């Protein structure tokens, strides 16, 4: 008999670790298909040569740089070991056992897990029939126990986004002592001008914080840097529960170097967005249902066919991410890799939807 863990640990679902068999085309983790820019790799190497020293505690240089870019005071920015770590820190800082975290479902699967790890409850509100956040239902679902509400915009895994008016109406309905977290991990891929920039809301309201990441648009998923923008009270709460030195020196240097090359980053994101539209139109033409996406991935609500579709694609070399019997999420990758996936999807549709 080993040492017993806390009683509720076994009931908390494990984070699903995507498969990476050698040689497979990886369209299952919303990563960038391109490696970091050469200048970023050089900055990482330079920082690694100082690896005997601890990194800056609060990533001060990166905070200063981001604050200048966003035109907010430095006290408004916290850095984390990926934005996933900031999700956890926010819940830890704001929720005690018995409190509630509210989010849409499906949305990013880490939110309910982190709620339970913190001893809080998670409450989920189904997406609307268009696979979008049902913000009116979410506002209705806020209870006296609710401390944190996540709005993932664009939403993972559906790619759908909410517009400016509906997000503003929603935020206005949320009590001032409930924290609204706008998770904008995929913000840089947004092309619809009606999708709001969460920073504008965070500037106006003390109870709104924004999460962003270098993992997707900047192609630094393996290097681990994300940031939180919010009022100084939110930022100091997030920093208080941080694991000391969790953001390594090479990670801080990589993010700063990536910001020096924002034009290339933007160009890459526009190319991904254009490719997203090409892939979506081919899928629609093949008869598949695919909601419009503002992210670097597409959602196929295949229901009970999700498993057979994912296996069909995997057998043809392209790995996609299946979410139970709800659907499949496919990352927009390199054009030739997307074509492998598209041929599989078209073959699947043409063979009469094998189950
Ligand atoms: N938020 C959302 C919505 C995500 O999809 C992800 C990554 N899958 C994250 C946060 C976390 O990303 P990272 O920790 O790499 O910044």
The CATH number covering residue 301 comes to 3.90.1150.10
Tokens at residue 2, please? 């080993």
Residues 179 and 299 in one domain: no
- 285: Cβ–Cβ under 8 A, 6 or more apart, which residues? none
Residues 275 and 187 in one domain: no
Give yes or no for residue 21 having a pLDDT over 90.
Answer: no
Task: Indicate the average pLDDT of the chain.
Answer: 96
**Position 16 in a domain:** no
Tokens at residue 285, please? 């033409």
- 89 in contact with ligand 1, CB cutoff 6 A: no
Domain end: 259, 281, 301, which one?
259
Residues 51 and 96 in one domain: yes
Residue in this structure with the two tokens 């927009």, named with its chain if needed:
332
Q: According to the model, what pLDDT value does residue 354 have?
A: 61
Tokens at residue 157, please? 């895994």
Nearest to 167 by CA among 196, 187, 188: 196
Tokens at residue 249, please? 């020196």
- Coil, strand, or helix at residue 53? coil
How far, in Å, CA of 298 to CA of 137, rounded? Answer: 24
Residues 187 and 295 in one domain: no
Residues 55 and 164 in one domain: yes
Residues 252 and 277 in one domain: no
- 215 in contact with ligand 1, CB cutoff 6 A: yes
Domain end: 225, 242, 259, which one?
259
**Position 14 in a domain:** no
How far, in Å, CA of 172 to CA of 186, rounded? Answer: 24
Residues 175 and 318 in one domain: no
Tokens at residue 264, please? 């290339």
Ligand 1 atom nearest 213 alpha carbon: 16
Query: Does residue 152 contact residue 104 with C-beta atoms inside 8 Å?
Result: yes
Tokens at residue 67, please? 């604050």
Residues 199 and 54 in one domain: yes
Give yes or no for residue 217 having a pLDDT over 90.
Answer: yes
Average pLDDT over residues 39-61: 97
**Position 86 in a domain:** yes
Query: Does residue 303 contact residue 342 with C-beta atoms inside 8 Å?
Result: no
Domain end: 225, 259, 293, which one?
259
Average pLDDT over residues 262-281: 98
Residues 159 and 228 in one domain: yes
**Position 289 in a domain:** yes
Bridge partner list, 149: 102, 180
Residues 78 and 184 in one domain: yes
Counting runs of H as helices and runs of E as strands, what totals does the chain give? 12, 12
- 84 in contact with ligand 1, CB cutoff 6 A: yes
**Position 271 in a domain:** yes
Average pLDDT over residues 172-201: 98
Residue with the nearest Cα to atom 9 of ligand 1?
Answer: 84
Ligand 1 atom nearest 221 alpha carbon: 15
CATH code for the domain in which residue 43 is found: 3.40.640.10
Residues 123 and 189 in one domain: yes
Average pLDDT over residues 13-19: 80
Domain that includes residue 346, residue range? 21-35+263-350
Ligand 1 atom nearest 108 alpha carbon: 3
**Position 90 in a domain:** yes
Query: Does residue 237 contact residue 80 with C-beta atoms inside 8 Å?
Result: no
- The structural domain count of the chain equals 2
Give yes or no for residue 275 having a pLDDT over 90.
Answer: yes
**Position 7 in a domain:** no
- 277: Cβ–Cβ under 8 A, 6 or more apart, which residues? none
Q: For 297-312, how does the pLDDT look when each residue is reduced to its tens digit (9 = 90+)?
A: 999 999 999 999 999 9
Handedness of CA 336, 36, 246, 242 (dihedral sign): negative
- 156 in contact with ligand 1, CB cutoff 6 A: yes
**Position 270 in a domain:** yes
- 294 in contact with ligand 1, CB cutoff 6 A: no
Residues 132 and 143 in one domain: yes
DSSP state of 141: H
Give yes or no for residue 33 having a pLDDT over 60.
Answer: yes
């Amino acid at each position: 008999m080993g040492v017993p863990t806390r009683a509720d640990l076994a009931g908390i679902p494990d984070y699903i670790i995507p498969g990476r068999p050698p040689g497979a085309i990886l369209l299952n983790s919303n990563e960038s298909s391109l490696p970091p820019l050469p200048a970023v790799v050089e900055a990482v190497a330079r920082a690694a040569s100082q690896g005997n020293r601890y990194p800056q505690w609060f990533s001060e240089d990166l905070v200063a740089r981001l604050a200048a870019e966003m035109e907010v005071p430095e006290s408004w920015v916290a850095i984390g070991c990926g934005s996933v770590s900031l999700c956890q820190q926010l819940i830890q800082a704001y929720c005690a056992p018995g409190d509630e975290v509210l989010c849409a479902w499906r949305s990013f699967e880490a939110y309910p897990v982190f709620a339970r790890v913190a001893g809080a409850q998670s409450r989920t509100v189904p997406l609307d029939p268009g696979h979008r956040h049902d913000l009116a239902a979410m506002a209705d679902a806020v209870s006296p126990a609710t401390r944190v509400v996540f709005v993932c915009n664009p939403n993972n895994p559906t790619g759908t986004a909410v517009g400016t008016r509906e997000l503003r109406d929603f935020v206005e309905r949320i009590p001032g002592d409930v924290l609204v977290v706008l998770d904008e991990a995929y913000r840089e891929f947004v092309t619809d001008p009606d999708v709001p920039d969460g920073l504008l809301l965070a500037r106006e309201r003390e109870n709104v914080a924004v999460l962003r990441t270098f993992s997707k648009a900047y192609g630094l998923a393996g290097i681990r840097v994300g940031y939180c923008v919010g009022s100084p009270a939110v930022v100091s709460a997030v920093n208080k529960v941080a694991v000391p030195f969790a953001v390594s020196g090479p990670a801080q240097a990589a993010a700063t170097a990536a910001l020096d090359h924002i034009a290339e980053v933007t160009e890459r994101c526009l190319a991904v967005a254009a490719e997203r539209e090409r892939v979506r139109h081919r899928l629609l033409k093949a008869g598949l249902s695919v909601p419009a996406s503002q992210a670097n991935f597409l959602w196929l609500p295949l229901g009970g066919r999700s498993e057979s579709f994912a296996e069909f694609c995997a057998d043809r070399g392209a790995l996609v991410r299946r979410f139970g019997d709800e659907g499949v999420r496919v990352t927009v990758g390199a054009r030739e890799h997307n074509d492998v996936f598209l041929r599989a999807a078209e073959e699947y549709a043409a063979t009469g939807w094998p189950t």
